[in-house]
Structure 1
Amino acid sequence: MTLTQLEIFSLVAELQGFTSAAHRLGISQSAVSHAIKALEQELGIDLFRRHQSQVELSDIGQQLLLRARAMLGLANTLQQEAADARGMKRGTLRIGSFGPTSSNRLLPPILERFRLAYPGIEVHIDEGPDRQVLQWLDERRIDVGFVVLEQERFDTFALFEDQLVALLPADHPLASHPAIGLEALCDDPFILTEAGSSELVTRLFHSARLSPKVRFRCAQLLSTLEAVCRGDGVSLVAQASLPQVADTRYVQRPLAPAVARTIGLAVLDRRQASPATLAFVQLAQSVHNRSS
């Protein structure tokens, strides 16, 4: 069993295909098939169920995938520690990000400084909903992820705090109010953005024993903004996720009482984090502290 075989196994599982994995790795499909077959023969089990165009993990394959990713993570940490002794001239860093707040506002200045300080570190960024970033951390598909705090099962580092704001069409009767109570948002059709802070919004209404009239579930914030601008309903989003350029078709109002949201970085275990991961966290905190 080799690390290369485990890497191929992990990628085939992620992409659900031998051809896709081969393209990602820049090798032939036959090389991927040979690596998986050799690994299955050595272990004496079938790791995948084969279909016409896709493959899916067998039950034991799902169990072993977590072990394989743990081994790959430790191997990467070992390589990073060796690279750290050489001035961190080589290595890989995998970052998980979600939505406009982290991808557009927090990540770019951190990434700019990181690339200047460590040009030899190859950075990979995957974007998805915040709950998916947490899943990627659990599965060791990423080294560090932007998350909404608190997250007790991870080691976390706070970076930034903003607040939830109500989004209303510009001509809405509540648009003239300086702040909006949560209960007032239950009178109109409600637009829920599935990405970003949707779980926080859902918990907020549930804790207040309120039931918004959810009529729209939007995958992207831009869809939510357009629906609000059309007058289809009202919404509740994180202020930092909104575009910097104001749109006169909608207004944002703070909640009364205010509801804060803290964004930070999370790692599975800081004691096993690679030097590149820890360097990224340190730079992120430096950028945040400087801008606060």
Structure 2
Amino acid sequence: MTFTQLDIFVMVADLRGFTAAALRLGISQSAVSHAIRSLEGELDGQLIERQPSGIEVTELGRRLLLRAREILGLAEAMRQDAAVARGLNQGLIRIGSFGPTSSLKLLPAILQAYRSRYPGIEVQIDEGPDAAVLQWVADRRVDVGFAVLPDERFDTVPLVEDQLVALLKSDHPLAAKKSVTLDELASEPFIMPEQGCSALIEPLFANAGLGPQVRYRMSQMLTVLALVDNGDGITVLPELSLPHAMAQTHPHIVARPLRPMARRRVGLILRSLAQASPAVQAFAGIARVAAKKIA
């Protein structure tokens, strides 16, 4: 069993295909197939099921996938430790990111600072819903992820805090108020933003003994804003998820803070910060500093 075989197995499982894995790794598809067959032969079990519609990881493959990622992660950490000892900055860091808050507001500034200090580190970013990022960290598919805090399952690095605001069309009766209550919002047609926001909003109403009158559920932020702009409903979103130039891009939408204020914390999650590779630990440190400027 070799690191190369494990790397190919993980890539095939993540990309769900031999061709995609070959392109990502820069090798031939036959080399990928040979590596998987050799690994299956050594482990005496089928890891990948080849089907006309694509590939599926077998039950045995899913059980061994976590082990493979752990081994590759430890090997990468060893390589980075050796590179640091030689005065070099080399290696790979895999980041999980969700939504506009992390992908548009936090990551660009953090990556700019990180790349200026560690230009030799390769950065791989996977984007998905909040729940997916949490699972990627748990499965070691990524080294570090952005998430809404707190989360007791992981080591965490708090970065920024913002508040939830109600978005209404400017001619809505509640737009005349400086702040709005959940009780006032509960009777209005509600547009529920998915991609993690619903996990914040629904408990907020439930804890107040209320339930929003959900008319639409949407995962795309631009669609949510377009519906509010059309007067099809109201919504609640974290401030840092809103576009930079809301007043210019959506002049007919107003944001009003909730009363009482509802806050949200966003930060980094890791399986273990103390055992993370030097590249990941450096990313966490730089993220702390960069986030202060953003906040």
TM-score greater than 0.5 by the shorter chain: yes
For 1:13, the aligned partner's letter is A
Which position in structure 2 is the counterpart of 1:103?
103
Letter in 2 for 1:160: V
1:136 shift after superposition: 0.8
Residue in 2 that maps onto 1:69: 69
Give the drift of 1:289: 3.3
**Corresponding residue number in structure 1 for 2:267:** 264
Match of 2:279 in 1: 276
- 1:177-256 matched pairs, under 5 angstroms: 177-245=177-245, 246=247, 247-256=250-259
Partners of 1:32 and 1:98 lie apart in 2 by 31
State the partner residue of 1:285: 288
- How many equivalent pairs are there? 292
> Within 2, Cα distance between the matches of 1:88 and 1:52?
45
- Distance in structure 1 (CA, Å) of the matches to 2:214 and 2:234: 10
Letter of the 1:23 partner, please give it.
L
For 1:217 and 1:167, the matched residues in 2 are separated by 15
| Mapped contact 2:160–2:292 kept (Cα < 8 A) | no
2:52 maps to 1:52: yes
Q: Which moved more, 1:85-94 or 1:107-116?
A: 85-94
Deviations 1:77-114 (A, max 9, x none): 11111122123421111111111111111111111111
TM-score, length-scaled by structure 2: 0.96
Is this contact kept in 1: 2:80–2:89, CA < 8 A? no
For 2:128, the equivalent position in structure 1 comes to: 128
How far is 1:188 from its partner?
1.7
How big is the shift at 1:290?
4.6
Supply the AA of the counterpart residue of 1:279.
A
Please report how far the alpha carbon of residue 138 of structure 1 lies from its aligned counterpart in structure 2 after TM superposition: 0.6
Structure 2's unaligned 5+ residue stretches are none
Cα pair 2:188 2:233 within 8 Å, conserved: yes
Q: Quote how far apart the aligned CAs of 1:127 are.
A: 1.2
Larger deviation: 120-129 or 194-203?
A: 194-203
Distance 1:192 1:290 in 2: 30
Cα displacement (A) at 1:240: 1.0
Q: Is the CA contact 1:17–1:53 (under 8 Å) kept in the aligned structure 2?
A: no
Deviation above 4 Å: which 4+ runs of structure 1? Answer: none
> By how many angstroms is 1:275 displaced?
0.3
Letter in structure 1 aligned against 2:70? A
Q: Secondary structure at the match of 1:211?
A: coil
Match for 2:270: what amino acid? Answer: V
Query: Does the 8 Å contact 1:94/1:123 carry over to 2?
Result: yes
Residue pair 2:149, 2:265 contacting (<8 A) in 1 also: yes
Q: CA deviation at 1:206?
A: 2.1
Please tell me the residue identity of whatever aligns with 1:22: A
CA deviation map 1:53-96 (0-9, x unaligned)? 31111111111111111111111111111122123421111111
Do the aligned residues in 1 keep the contact of 2:106 with 2:294 (CA within 8 Å)? no
1:36: how far off? 0.3
Contact kept in structure 1, 2:180 and 2:256, CA below 8 Å: yes
Q: Aligned residue for 1:118?
A: 118
Do the aligned residues in 2 keep the contact of 1:88 with 1:276 (CA within 8 Å)?
no
CA distance in 1, matches of 2:175, 2:57: 52
* Structure 1 length-normalised TM: 0.97
- Separation of aligned partners in 1, 2:20 and 2:53: 10
Which one-letter code corresponds to 1:30 in the other structure? S
Q: Say what the alpha-carbon RMSD is for the aligned residues.
A: 1.2
